[in-house]
Amino acid sequence: MATRSFTSRRELEQHSFPPAVALLVPLGAILLQALLPRPFPRLAILDLPLIVTVFFAVSRRNPVAGTLTGAAIGLLQDALTAQPIGVNGMAKSVIGYIAASIGIQIDVENLTTRILINFGFFLMNSFLLFLINRRLLGLTNFHIYWGHELIRAAINTAVALPIFFLLDNAKRRE
């Protein structure tokens, strides 16, 4: 019988996903994000693409894959907005990278950890968007209300938890 030996935590818990899941889940998230606010305007507060980005990044535990996933999802999201293409792409690239890097270090299966990382990443996303719009694009009238961003982070964290549990079923150990 062959003996299994693992050299790192990353190798122990690195997951991959079937190509259909890896492609359709981000597309579905972007599509839902575009469709839901029309009948339910208050659902514009959600950021389903960011939830998916964080999930794939922490599950794959590969910073390069996390960066590329974040960039692809962000760019596609930008293409549907009136903003310059790259605003969400840059923010989600950074978040994908950091989420994958954190995923190597800590146990991201834990519920408390998931709550904390989701909340933290949503605030970080708002901060990155503020930086990109205000400093990089020079939009001086771009304002962010941090109270609103805290509420947004809390709501998205609450939505992210069941989505994470749902997507856990699609994981495939390498």
Partner 1 sequence: MAVRGAGRVRSEVLSKKLYCASSTPPPHARHFADNQCQSMESFFTRFKNVLVLVAILLAQTIGLAVQVRRPVESGAPDSSKVTLIRYWAVSVVSPFERFFHGIGYTFRHGWSNYVDLRHTRQENHDLQDQIARLRLEQASFAEDAMQGHRLQAMLDFQQHYVSTTVAAQVIGTSGNDLSRVIYIDKGSKDGLKTDQAVITPDGIVGKIRDVFPHTSQVLLINDQTSGAGVLLATTRIRAILRGSTTGQILINNLTPDNRIKPGEQVLSSGGDQVYPRGLAVGTIESIKIDPDHQPYTLIQLRPAANLNQLEEVLVITGTQTTLSAQAQKDLAAGVTTAEAQAAAKQIADQQAAEAAARSAAQIVADRLPSIHEGEDEAKPGTAAPPATTPPVSVVPKPLPTIHSDRYSPGATPSASDLKPGAAEPPNEKDLN
Q: Are 153 and 119 in contact (CB under 8 A)?
A: yes
Instruction: Give yes or no for residue 150 binding partner 1 (CB under 8 A).
Output: no
Q: Is 1 in the site for partner 1 (CB under 8 A)?
A: no
Q: For partner 1, which is the closer residue by CB, 111 or 133?
A: 133
Q: Tell me if 57 sits within 8 A of 64, measured CB to CB.
A: no
Binding residue for partner 1, selected from 19, 20, 38, 162, defined by CB under 8 A: 38
Question: According to the binding rule CB under 8 A, does residue 95 interact with partner 1?
Answer: no
Q: Which is nearer to partner 1, 45 or 166 (CB)?
A: 45
Residue of 10, 6, 7, 12 lying closest to 103 (CA atoms)? 10
Q: Which of 46, 124, 140, 133 is nearest to 92 (CA)?
A: 124
Q: Considering only residues 71, 108, 117, 153, which one is a binding residue for partner 1 as defined by CB under 8 A?
A: 71
Q: Which of 152, 127, 154, 130 is nearest to 142 (CA)?
A: 130
Report if residue 85 touches partner 1, rule: CB under 8 A: yes
Closest CA to 67 of 21, 100, 105: 100
Does residue 34 bind partner 1 (CB under 8 A)?
A: yes
Does the footprint of partner 1 cover residue 53 (CB under 8 A)? no
Which of 19, 39, 147, 162 lies at the binding interface for partner 1 (CB under 8 A)? 39
User: How many amino acids of this chain bind partner 1 (CB under 8 A)?
Assistant: 56
CA nearest to 169, candidates 14, 2, 21: 21
Contact status: 161 vs partner 1 (CB under 8 A):
no
Closest contact distance (angstroms) between CB of 3 and partner 1 is: 7
| Residue 154 touches partner 1, criterion: CB under 8 A | no
16 phi and psi, to 5 degrees? -125, 175
